[in-house]
Homo-oligomer: A and B are copies of this chain.
Amino acid sequence: MRFRPVDTSFYDLFAQLAQHLVGGAALLAEMLGDGNDRVGIAQQMRDAEHAADESTHQLIRRVNTTFVTPFDREDIYALASGLDDVMDFMEEAVDLVLLYEVTTLPSELAEQVEVLQRCAELTAEAMPRLQTMKNLEEYWIEINRLENAGDKSYRRILAKLFSGQYEALEVLKLKDVVDSLEAAVDAFERVANIVEQIAVKES
């Protein structure tokens, strides 16, 4: 067993970053709801994205200036930027809905967003467990399962988009939104893979 006296704030920053993702996923769900204030939601999303950026930068600066880190420096970078990627993709989806003036969103999108909300919760719950490296396996297994489910929704949506019931320009718009959501799910899976890798190394 290695003994490493470390600053706990690394864990706090990871937990904080993951909390921003929970908030972002909730805003995404609101954005898809009918009759909501999309301009206002998009603004809140941008704020959430900036807050996540800020936490990521704090983490990276701390890694660069700390002598003893709780786990390998490159794993901390990878985890921080992996979490930040999720936020960027969620913000992109919200932004595109507004920018393209998408009016009717296929109902299948709600499935993708539910997957994202569940992934965000699981990730936020898992971050504090990095401190003991215990009970993390259930987290990454469940994320992988959710990613598979998300992938199936994604493919169903694509088949629907290209079925002929939408105009080409509408397909282009919706595909960009759906691709951003899919990229966010994939980014959650990459985070889980990084956590798995860290856990295996440190155990």
Contact = CB atoms under 8 A, between A and B. Distances in A.
Contact of A100 (B99, B158, B172): B158
B61 A99 contact: no
Interface in A109-159: 155, 158-159
Interface string A84-111: 0000000000011001110000000000
Interface in A153-190: 155, 158-159, 162, 164, 167-169, 171-173, 175
Contacts of A201: 64
Nearest to A95: B155
Interface of A: 60-61, 64-65, 95-96, 99-101, 155, 158-159, 162, 164, 167-169, 171-173, 175, 197, 200-201
Given A65-B200, A99-B155, 17 more contacts: A60-B197, A64-B197, A64-B200, A64-B201, A96-B158, A99-B158, A99-B162, A101-B162, A162-B169, A162-B173, A164-B169, A167-B168, A168-B169, A168-B172, A169-B171, A171-B172, A172-B172
